[in-house]
Structure 1
């Protein structure tokens, strides 16, 4: 079940990474949301892997105590206590502009938003994963996670 989700998101992942990601997702408590972030190759080409990794570190540590991470150093799978924490992290990072050029403003809305960004693409694609019960897993792409509207 978890392996299918990881394979669907990370089509090109090596088997060692698939095992690591499956273990990390399967370790979540029932109903705790997980965000899986897949990098956008265009964003990485524009800004580089160092900027991408620094951005993922923001998701990993935002609003946590020293030396705590919500991603187990994966920089792609982020555990949250509940939906409220997930949105607090997302909103806080976006509103404080902690990830320069990480959030995309659709062209039709750029004149209305004063973020000072002209980012042509979002940093990645975010997938929400929630373990509803032992044999059922809910999983979908959150198409607005990296968009400001």
Structure 2
């Protein structure tokens, strides 16, 4: 069994935290959710090595997300990239961006933030990428000792973001 990047699908380490986006909110909304990090702060946590310019680009991308649309964010695993190479990493990310689409991308060329129209589309894409690039997914830690040549490194850490209401986002974290 393989560990997949979705908190609802496998036994994973999941961290759920709410995020308050800083656009268009009233003072009452701000005080009610003031303990949650802003979208910018959350992105800086997820992409700790990203420049301010990259964080701003990701913020603009997330502002376009409709309520309940899932977004898959993948923070690259440098160990995986060292093992398989940057061209292979880009091929996997491009597959996440384009699978099932014609002449368009779901990532605005970010290669890390993928906006889906629904959960079914996200799971279908995940399953297809697993078929095409099985090395992008790690084997379950509980089974690694039992599998010869087990895949020990996922391509990255995945975060599933859901815009659950105006100014409120939820992110689940899981290893791929």
**In which range does the TM-score fall when normalised by the shorter chain?**
0.7 to 0.9
Q: Which residue of 2 aligns with 1:106?
A: 140
Aligned residue pairs total 139
Shift of residue 10, structure 1, vs aligned partner: 0.4
Deviation of residue 120 (structure 1)? Answer: 2.0
Residue 45 (structure 1) aligned to one of 74, 78, 82: 82
SS at match of 1:138: strand
**Structure 1: runs of 5+ lacking an equivalent:** none
**Greater C-alpha Rg:** 2
Q: TM-score, normalised by structure 1?
A: 0.85
RMSD: 2.0
Shift of 1:135: 2.0
Q: Which residue is equivalent to 1:24? A: 61
Inter-partner Cα distance in structure 1 for 2:51 and 2:44: 10
Alpha-carbon distance, 1:2 to partner: 1.8
Tell which has more relative contact order, 1 or 2 (C-alpha 8 A, sep 6+): 2
Give 2:128's match in structure 1, choosing from 92, 105, 114.
92
Q: Which residue number corresponds to residue 68 of structure 1? A: 104
Other-structure match for 1:126: 158
Kindly state the Cα deviation for residue 108 of structure 1 after the two structures are TM-superposed: 4.2
- Tell whether the 8 Å contact from 2:144 to 2:151 is kept in structure 1 after alignment: no
